[in-house]
Amino acid sequence: MRYYDSAKRCLVYEEESRSNPDFWDEHWAKDDWNEIENKGKKDRFVSKITQKFLTPSHSLKILEGGCGKGQYVYSLDCCGYDAYGIDFAKNTVAKVNQKFPHLNIKFGDIRQMDFPDNFFDAYWSLGVIEHFFEGYLEILEEMNRILKPGGYAFVTFPYMSPLRKLRAKLGRFPKFQKERLDISKFFQFALDARCVQKDFSKKGFEMVYKRSFDGIKGLKDELDDFPFSQKIFKEIYYSNNFFIKIIKYAIHFSLAPVCGHIILMVFRKK
């Protein structure tokens, strides 16, 4: 189910699962652990974006907060950075430590970490801040504490694209009523990018880059008023056909500014 929270200008996604470390341990356990190394080596997102702002060097410390299986920590390590990872799914972290003992990945809570102040040159947050029902301000506070002045925060999250904002104005989403929800369940929020930018600005960050992604998923998710069109885009989205993949790639980027599902925002700590 999805609801629109007009006060926070965001979409609220409610699922049946419970939000706790066990949920994430089960989630990550579904993957083939032998593929993590390959995924890390093939990464063309985190490594390339990072290199736009920071030339690879073993003297540069980069943390991924909420690193899951650690494939992006692996990718950053391969690029030549001093890469770290932290996650609160204890069993998953134990498996990563066993599989990749050379990676600096530890168990912990991104809202309260034991790293020193001004320790990191960069911080990656990939689809994490949108999962906290009480909000992400504690994460932001800790991010601000451990980043050096001039350090970068790379943050991705589902967001209120122009299409989603239009549908919200037209009343296409049920109204959010907090008192009717079980907040122990798993939640995800499609956040308002302007609100996120404002919150980071209050903590002394300036936005230096932003880009939306996954236009086809964003469109597919918003076609519930048109079942036939939604079915077509679902087939395109999940297809492994080579030619359809080319079409999908083109749609991903051409439609992203209007109906992207995810946005990347890069902030620099002043």
Q: What is the pLDDT of residues 148-192, one digit of tens each?
A: 999 999 999 999 999 999 999 999 999 988 766 666 666 789 999
Q: What is the pLDDT of residues 185-243, one digit of tens each?
A: 667 899 999 999 999 999 999 999 999 998 888 888 888 766 666 677 677 777 788 78
Q: How far apart are CA 85 and CA 65, in angstroms?
A: 6
Grade residue 79 by pLDDT with cuts at 50, 70 and 90: very high
User: Residue 120 region, left (φ>0) first, then alpha (ψ -120 to 50), else beta?
Assistant: beta
Model confidence pTM above 0.85: yes
Q: Over the chain, what is the mean pLDDT?
A: 88
Amino acid of residue 184: S
Write out the DSSP string of 125-145. Answer: EES-GGG-TT-SHHHHHHHHH
Is a pLDDT exceeding 60 seen at residue 259? yes
Q: What is the pLDDT of residues 37-56, one digit of tens each?
A: 777 778 889 999 999 999 99
| Residue percentage of the chain with pLDDT more than 70 | 87
pLDDT, position 19: 58
Task: Locate 169 and state its tokens.
Answer: 């104005």
CA gyration radius for the chain? 19
**Contact in structure between 72 and 40 (CB atoms under 8 Å):** yes
Whole-angstrom CA distances from 221 to 75, 82, 157, 158, 249 are: 30, 38, 15, 12, 17
Grade residue 116 by pLDDT with cuts at 50, 70 and 90: very high
pLDDT, position 203: 96
Is a pLDDT exceeding 60 seen at residue 18? no
User: Class for domain 2-214+261-269, per CATH?
Assistant: alpha beta
